Amino acid sequence: MRTGVNSNSPRNKNPAVEVDPASKTRRLAGGPPPDRATTSTSSRGLVLDLGPVDSWDCAEIGSPVVKRYIGDNEERWYMWYHGRSISEEGTDRDLIGLATSSNGIHWSRGEGRVIRSCGDAGMVMECRDNWWAFDTESIRPSELVVMSSPMYSSVYWLYYTGYSSDEVDFRVESTSLPLSNPVRSLLGEERKILRSLPGLACSQDGRHWARIEGDHHSGALLDVGSGNEWDSLFIAGAQVVMHSSDDLRMYYHSFDREKGRYAVGFARSRDGIRWVKCGKITMGGGLSSSFDELGVKNARVVRNAGDGTYLMAYEAVAADGRTSIAMAASEDGLRNWRRLQEGPALEASATDGWDNWAVGSPCLVPMEGQEDKWRMYYAGIGLGGRTGIGMAISEGSDARSFRRWSGISL
């Protein structure tokens, strides 16, 4: 199949796909989550908090993938993100949900657990139960593009990371940091390195999804590297960017066991389904005691519509596991990346902030025609392990520095 990309299509006229409304709602075994931020200072930048008790996303949220669509008479925003609840057996799997907004600031997430109509927001995608599948334990969104092909008039393609029950037995002697995949924020939670691979799902409305099987026997799009290759442990955070109609680039991260640090690599494809790995990206940094001593991950790349260059926001990992967000740029979006500054563009907030432990999983949204050229949506973690999704804005067109949005008291 020859597939092209139309990432600027603002509307989708395909009918909704109905799903079975029968669904079991899981209940919290314990009490409510920690107290929410109550002051404008502590909640600065927060645009999406944990869901209410009993909801599918009441224990953890993160991995924001935000898209802005401008029509003739309206502006629509969509945020796909991962969430977890707590069941009687313990903490649940990561699932994928959808929130909607008219301005990218005030978000509606819906009330129910499962989407039933095209106007709903809520949980939109669950893990698979097939024993052979790569996404039986958790799923997290990493990118959404609007694809056009002879087979589809206009469909959403969601690239996501799927986690299986296959646990990787690996210890890093060079650091005392307990590694985990996926990374967990809740205190006291057992840390495991689960095998993860990239997957793809298709939708006509962004809410009801059907998976597209990749070439790997598990249904994934790529397999981990062999032997001591840098991506032999897992593949996570696979984000896809269009360079041309037959040149798509996938940026993903793994933990390089030989170097003892996280790293980002990329792959290329002509149709968005079959991919060829192209190796690891080197951006410098990683010096002792630096903000990125343990490497980089969760890279999010945007192509500048004006000059065709590429901008990358990525998660930098310090020796103690705390993460911040930094920026890099490239002329071609391939290997020639340079860091825009020697420090992070966004760090954990002050002591009383809701995200005062770490920030990560950045998602860049260009704001053409506005004074603030870039919005950055991100996942934040507090000292107590509570998570939320925040938003920061660039200082004009300069993507080297971002400040948390504080337009109103949240």
Q: Kind and range of the H or E element at 240?
A: strand 236-244
Going by pLDDT thresholds of 50, 70 and 90, the confidence category of residue 311 is very high
- Residue entry with tokens 């400040």: 403
pLDDT of residue 79: 98
- Residue entry with tokens 């290329």: 268
- Residue entry with tokens 């004074």: 371
Nearest to 28 by CA among 50, 11, 3: 50
Q: What is the tens place of the pLDDT at every residue in 238-296?
A: 999 988 878 999 999 999 999 999 999 999 999 999 999 999 998 877 788 889 999 99
Q: What is the tens place of the pLDDT at every residue in 134-188?
A: 999 999 999 999 887 665 555 899 999 999 999 998 876 655 667 899 998 766 6
Beta strands in 6-129 (DSSP E): 46-48, 60-70, 75-84, 86-87, 90-91, 95-101, 107-108, 122-125
Say how far apart CA 280 and CA 288 lie, in whole Å: 21
pLDDT of residue 283: 81
| Cα angle 14, 19, 20; round to 5 | 165
Say how far apart CA 179 and CA 170 lie, in whole Å: 9
Going by pLDDT thresholds of 50, 70 and 90, the confidence category of residue 72 is confident
**Mean of pLDDT values over 302-308:** 82
Beta strands in 168-319 (DSSP E): 194-203, 210-212, 236-244, 247-256, 261-269, 276-281, 296-303, 310-317
Strand pairing class (90-91; 122-125): unpaired
Nearest to 239 by CA among 126, 327, 345, 161: 161
pLDDT of residue 25: 32
Kindly report the CATH number that applies to the domain delimited by 4-12+43-404.
2.115.10.20
**Mean of pLDDT values over 5-33:** 35
Q: Is residue 243 exposed (0-12), middle (13-18) or buried (19+ Cβ within 10 Å)?
A: middle
> How far, in whole angstroms, is CA 179 from its chain's centroid?
19
Say how far apart CA 256 and CA 303 lie, in whole Å: 27
Reading phi first (left if > 0) and then psi (alpha if -120 to 50, else beta), residue 25 is in: beta
Least confident stretch, 109-118, 304-313, 316-325: 109-118
> How far, in whole angstroms, is CA 167 from its chain's centroid?
22
Residue 183 in 3-state DSSP? coil
3-state helix, strand, coil in the chain (%, to 5): 0, 45, 55
Is the pLDDT at 91 greater than 70? The verdict is: no
- What is the rounded end-to-end Cα distance, in angstroms, of the chain? 47
For the record, the structure tokens of 51 come out as 């869901």
For the record, the structure tokens of 5 come out as 């990309």
> Is the CB of residue 316 less than 8 Å from the CB of residue 323?
yes
Q: Is residue 180 exposed (0-12), middle (13-18) or buried (19+ Cβ within 10 Å)?
A: middle
Q: What is the tens place of the pLDDT at every residue in 184-237?
A: 876 667 788 999 999 999 999 999 999 999 999 999 999 999 988 999 999 999
Residue 176 in 3-state DSSP? coil
The DSSP result for 6-20, as a single string, is -TT-----SPPPP--
Return the bridge partners of 79, or none: 66, 99
What's the full length of the chain, in residues? 410
> Is the CB of residue 163 less than 8 Å from the CB of residue 147?
no
